Structure 1
């Protein structure tokens, strides 16, 4: 029972780290856009910082989570977050068709998380 509890705790931490990596990926994407091809120093420095953070948290999460699942969740989180926040913060257009496909990505990420649950694996 203790081993199961430790595995669930470790798995939960890995998913939190993966979500943090996705958040930092969003910051990276937005700051790269703001850097205007790395010509704005403050945005360029922010992009570099977010890049290092996303790589660290992604690599830490992938110690527990399968690479295929982890990478898909990380990429999906980053894509959806960058599209939504880019629309809000950077006045980038977000069409109805784009919104639909972003919703498909979100559904896929949720299903991947559910597929990784202990109840379904048992």
Structure 2
């Protein structure tokens, strides 16, 4: 028996939830690699230090790969904002650990605002109501 070329395989709610969870995991990984990329670019000092420059290239490739995987199932507007938010917060928190940077109360407050926005974006990407059939 052959199936029509335009047929779409039926998915269960569990399958959709699992694939969406996998997309969010890929997005978190992309965000973590984005933090590594940002820190490595800073450490490369304009790509003049070989080890940091190679690390930046590797992190860059991984962040783009995992972001592209995530965006197969997550809207680009939400996925990109979450990815950028993870990168910004991670770099701001780890910059003082690895480099001569500061983190003060005002920066901490605005980082908390970014984190809150990322959480709300995740919540906004929850299950959509089923269309009404007539």
TM-score grouping bracket, smaller chain normalisation:
over 0.9
Choose the corresponding residue for 2:13, options 4, 8, 27.
4
Alignment correspondent of 2:97: 88
TM-score, normalised with respect to structure 2:
0.86
Supply the RMSD in Å over aligned alpha carbons: 1.2
Choose the corresponding residue for 1:105, options 114, 125, 134.
114
Structure exhibiting the larger radius of gyration computed from Cα positions: 2
Q: For the residues of structure 2 that align with 1:87 and 1:42, how far apart are their CA atoms?
A: 20
Unmatched tracts of structure 1, length 5 or more: none
Alignment correspondent of 1:40: 49
Cα displacement (A) at 1:2: 5.5
| Structure ranking higher in helix proportion | 1
Choose the corresponding residue for 1:75, options 67, 70, 84.
84
- Which stretch shifts more, 6-15 or 80-89? 80-89
Alignment correspondent of 2:70: 61
Q: For the residues of structure 1 that align with 2:69 and 2:11, how far apart are their CA atoms?
A: 23
- Measured against aligned partners, the alpha-carbon deviations of 1:80-110 in whole angstroms (never above 9, x if no partner) come to 0000011222231112111100000000000
Q: Runs (4+) of structure 1 moved beyond 6 Å?
A: none
Q: For the residues of structure 2 that align with 1:15 and 1:65, how far apart are their CA atoms?
A: 8
- Which stretch shifts more, 109-118 or 57-66? 109-118
SS in 2 for 1:110: helix
How many residues align? The count is: 120
